[in-house]
Structures are given as structure tokens and as C-alpha cells.
């Protein structure tokens, strides 16, 4: 089973958007999720073992990022 996180950065101006984006990707890289993670510009899919780690990670950014969480067995379910 995969947990899919779809996120969108919310900001009032370009400066805040860029700062949030930079911090988000810096901290995401520090998580060291490994090769078993599927990432695109606004989507991350992880195994259920990484769910708690990702939930805690997104909790840090809850004020500046809108997050949707989906559980799926296969990509075709999405």
C-alpha cells in the first residue's frame, strides 16, 4: 500500500513563496527517504512504513502548505 501526499504551497507574495519552497525542499531532502519514494513537483508517494515520518514532516509546514493525503494499493486507483 502507498500513501500519496499532494501538496500546494500557499503564500501571499513571491518572496514568502520562494522562502517556503526553499525550506520545504531543504527539509524534505534531509529526511533521506531513499529510493522507494515516488516524487513529482507536488506529489510524494511513500510506503506505509514512512507514513508517520511524512505526517510529522508536513505538520511543520501546515500553515504555509495545503496537504491532501490519499491511500492507494496501486497508481491506477488514483
- Domains of the chain, each with CATH number or no CATH: 2-77 (3.30.70)
pLDDT digits (tens, 9 = 90+) for 12-61: 899 999 999 999 989 988 988 877 778 888 888 888 888 898 999 999 98
CA–CA gap between residue 37 and residue 39 (Å, rounded): 6
C-alpha cell at 6: 499532494
pLDDT value at position 3? 87
pTM higher than 0.85 for the full model?
Answer: no
The grid coordinates of residue 35 equal: 529510493
Give the separation between CA 48 and CA 12, rounded to whole angstroms.
Answer: 34
Q: If pLDDT is split at 50, 70 and 90, which confidence band does 75 have?
A: low
Specify the pLDDT at position 31. Answer: 87
Amino acid at each position: 500500500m502507498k500513501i500519496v501526499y499532494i501538496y500546494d504551497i500557499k503564500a501571499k507574495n513571491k518572496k514568502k513563496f520562494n522562502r517556503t519552497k526553499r525550506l520545504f525542499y531543504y527539509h524534505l531532502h534531509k529526511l533521506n527517504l531513499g529510493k522507494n519514494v515516488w516524487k513529482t513537483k507536488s506529489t510524494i508517494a511513500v510506503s506505509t512504513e514512512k507514513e508517520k515520518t511524512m505526517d510529522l514532516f508536513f505538520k511543520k509546514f501546515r500553515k504555509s502548505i495545503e496537504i491532501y493525503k490519499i491511500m492507494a494499493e496501486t497508481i491506477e486507483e488514483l
